Amino acid sequence: MIEEHQNIYVGIDVAKEQLEIAVRPGTDSWTLANDETAVDELIQNMIALNPQLIILEATGGLEELAVSMLGAAGLPVVVVNPRQVRDFARSTGRLAKTDRIDAKILAHFGEAIRPEVRPLANEQAHLLSALVTRRRQIAEMLVAERNRLRTAHRESCLRIQDHISWLKQELGDLNKSIHKAIQESPIWCEKEDLLRSVPGIGPVSAATLLADLPELGQLDRKKIAALVGVAPFNRDSGTLRGQRSIWGGRAHVRSVLYMATLSAIRHNSVIKTFYDRLILAGKKQKVALVACMRKLLTILNAIIRHSSQWRTPSAVHARA
């Protein structure tokens, strides 16, 4: 039985056909279909409960219906990284895995960690994210087909070449669709201009940051670095001092930032100077490159926060 003064946390495990809901504190749990009618019923239940947080895992899009409808109803919804939840489950000794157990773990995770509620993406943001994701998939297929062409039997070469031609056309069409989506939004259009004013940031980098890193400009430099996964974490214990390393974060954003940083090292005087200084100081190339990724991200974060185009190196570009 839940007392009125208690803070309530709800975990929702999402599957293709159903939602498993668990409430903490207490042992209440139930199952609903993963469709609009059932989510409407869930919303009424959540309004009555008035929870502090509703926690769901990112499940490749299966969670979008529930998240968007709960968010539209003004409920405090948070979508979390599945790996964080599994690590949390292991730390509490919960190794078994069923939908009901997962829902309870999500509720416990929300109560213990209390992740921050952030604004949910609107339909336009979902569209841009879908286009950017599809572009990334097509680009990966194009690389794979070109690699296959090198060793393919002559009977397969023509088919692979035809597929490569189609992929190139599809990539071009997606680039146009992404550009159109950005141009139709005055806010995105302005942000894209700001991002692309930084040497090293091209249209793909800018679109990915807009679509998949909406927190850019809203968090401080340490939080945005941790969110992307370029913040170094200590590995120390007792007298042992381990090598610091990056971990977690949004891998696809980090990949795009990596490519942008390689370009910036060649064309951006601030990043180039910073990289050269680290190498001269004896840092390994990989360590120097990650540090440059973090610095470039800090610059981009500050530029969006202050709505200030890149001009010349100044204090505002070095602080978040």
Average pLDDT, the chain: 88
- Bridging pattern class, strands 53-57 and 77-80: parallel
Give residue 318's pLDDT.
47
Of 195-199, 215-219, 299-303, 310-314, give the lowest mean pLDDT range. 310-314
Residue 177 in this model has a pLDDT that exceeds 50: yes
Dump pLDDT digits (tens) for 241-250.
545 555 567 8
Q: What is the CATH number of domain 9-113?
A: 3.30.420.40
pLDDT at position 242: 46
In the chain, where are the structural domains located? Answer: 9-113, 122-184, 186-234+244-320
Query: Over 60: is that where the pLDDT of 27 sits?
Result: yes
**What is the pLDDT at residue 65?**
87
Distance CA 157, CA 250 (A): 36
Provide mean pLDDT across the span 231-246: 52
pTM over 0.85: no
Rounded Cα–Cα distance for residues 156 and 158 (Å):
6
**pLDDT in the model for residue 319:** 47
Q: What's the pLDDT score for residue 316?
A: 44
In this prediction, residue 320 has a pLDDT band, given cuts at 50, 70 and 90, of very low
Report residue 4's pLDDT band, with 50, 70 and 90 as the boundaries. Answer: low
Interval 14-24: pLDDT, tens: 999 999 999 99
